[in-house]
Structure 1
Amino acid sequence: MSGEGPSLRERRRVETRRLIQSHALRLFAERGFDDTTVNDVARASGVSAMTVYRHFPTKEDLVLHGRYDHLVAAGVAARPADEPPVRRIGRALVETVRDLAGSADRELLLARLRLMVDTPALRARHLDSQFATQQAIAAALLGDAPEPDAEFRVGAAASACLAAMHVALTRWAREDGRPDLPGLVAAALAAAFGEEFGDDVD
């Protein structure tokens, strides 16, 4: 039975996590991140504060949970191996945001980004998440025991690509999700690296 998909217990866990996070994002948008407590989120969700902490160890995790490192890493790994790292990473990022912007998670992503843009504590934590994404990209390109010079080059390429994407995500959030997100990311990458990252993505 284990190969037939998530168990009932795991499905309930995912549903509870999504319920808590959706109430948290609503309250943060209405009241502000700093003026909303974990107890407020628990009451709105109909669960205990202990249940909230079991799913989200910190208040910041209520916003930041749901990173997409595995999608980016898979996209990077799927690109042609002979592409330069910047092109390989950049095109994988464009494909990832294209999938997310067209999915049911689009509004969740937009709500999270709005909060990250406007909340200093979340902006600081977001830098940690970018470092984790950088490491996931490096592992996808180089494996678990990379040669130091290669790791340095890939780390620089990944950091630069992620910084360009951050500029695009910030604009998308500030403009309430109206612009085409993959187009914004491709344009930001092109501005940084002087090459196209858009229409001819495989």
Structure 2
Amino acid sequence: MNLMTAARITPPADHPRPGLRERKKIKTREGIRAAMYALVEEQGYDATTIEQIAERAEVSPSTVFRYFPTKEDIVLTDEWDPVMLAELRMRPADEPWPVSIRHVVREAIAVGIDEDLAVSRLRARLTAEVPAVRSRMMESMSVTGRMLCGVIAERTGGDPQSLEVRVYAMALVGALMETTLYWADHDHEDDLKELAERALDVLERGLPAAPAAPGGTTG
């Protein structure tokens, strides 16, 4: 979820601490991302090459590709999805599904903005402005949606392959992506948390009623 690329939840306190090897991998991934963000700010996305990113991160180009298959993946890939799913599974079993979703989304945005608002804005802007990044995001949405289907089915007792579950999962993923794009399109002037709440309101309640036209009609 691209809103998810603007935010990462901190793993639960009781989550096992990653081993040394995994911590090194995380450090390498974060170093590659940081190198790319800095280069993009300096010279723009199109002018930034994998070779430059590798040099700035002090790794080889092959290492960059081992962690991120494409340059667009450096912008989009983070540790959000598995953590989000874990957080959803930790919510009380009797909690209404929309409440669980709102809790996780709120926490994700708060953590992401607190960690680095500038990076959150940059990632959202690149998704909105760079066709290759936006295209790659559309591809990744399908993967995220399928993962979400499993959690939705567990909580609702539905079939993860049913039309209803698949439609809801992709609607949620799409709504959060559009929230990110809207935020970027409007120069990040709006509060991202409020935008996400509005998007979730639409999913739960449908479109708000149109304002009444002059004369008391709505047509």
Common fold by TM > 0.5: yes
Q: 2: distance between equivalents of 1:90 and 1:4?
A: 24
Residue among 166, 181, 198 paired with 2:177: 166
Say if 1:4 and 1:169 are closer, same or farther in 2 by CA, change over 3 A: closer
Residue among 191, 196, 203 paired with 1:180: 191
Q: State the AA in 1 paired with 2:62.
A: M
Structure 2 counterpart of 1:118: 129
Q: 2: distance between equivalents of 1:172 and 1:56?
A: 26
Q: 1: distance between equivalents of 2:16 and 2:149?
A: 32
1:26-51: CA deviation from partner (whole Å, max 9, x where unpaired):
22233332322111111222222122
User: Is the 8 Å Cα contact of residues 153 and 159 (structure 2) preserved in structure 1?
Assistant: no
Structure 1 counterpart of 2:200: 189
Q: 2: distance between equivalents of 1:74 and 1:181?
A: 23
Q: 2: distance between equivalents of 1:82 and 1:52?
A: 41
Structure 1 counterpart of 2:75: 63
2:162 match: secondary structure = helix
Structure 2 counterpart of 1:9: 21
The two structures have a TM-score, normalised by structure 1, of 0.76
Residue among 63, 69, 84 paired with 1:72: 84
1:139 corresponds to 2:161: no
1:83-117: CA deviation from partner (whole Å, max 9, x where unpaired):
3x5x2574255334334344415443332221111
Say if 1:44 and 1:74 are closer, same or farther in 2 by CA, change over 3 A: same
Greater shift, 111-120 or 50-59, is seen at 50-59
Greater shift, 108-117 or 95-104, is seen at 95-104
Q: State the AA in 1 paired with 2:141.
A: Q
Greater shift, 87-96 or 132-141, is seen at 87-96
1:110-135: CA deviation from partner (whole Å, max 9, x where unpaired):
32221111111111110122212211
Structure 1 runs not aligned, ≥5 long:
196-202
Matches within 5 A, 1:5-84: 5-77=17-89, 78=91, 80-81=93-94, 83=96
Residue among 105, 108, 126 paired with 1:97: 108
Structure 2 runs not aligned, ≥5 long:
1-14, 207-219
Q: 2: distance between equivalents of 1:79 and 1:98?
A: 21
Q: Which of structures 1 and 2 has the larger relative contact order (alpha carbons within 8 angstroms, sep 6+)? A: 2
Say if 1:69 and 1:151 are closer, same or farther in 2 by CA, change over 3 A: farther
Structure 1 counterpart of 2:119: 108
Greater shift, 111-120 or 59-68, is seen at 59-68
1:133 match: secondary structure = helix
RMSD over aligned Cα atoms: 2.9
User: Is the 8 Å Cα contact of residues 27 and 36 (structure 1) preserved in structure 2?
Assistant: yes
The two structures have a TM-score, normalised by structure 2, of 0.71
Say if 1:125 and 1:79 are closer, same or farther in 2 by CA, change over 3 A: farther
In the TM superposition, residue 82 of structure 1 has moved relative to its aligned partner by 6.6
The alignment-based identity, stated in percent, is 29
Q: 2: distance between equivalents of 1:10 and 1:175?
A: 38
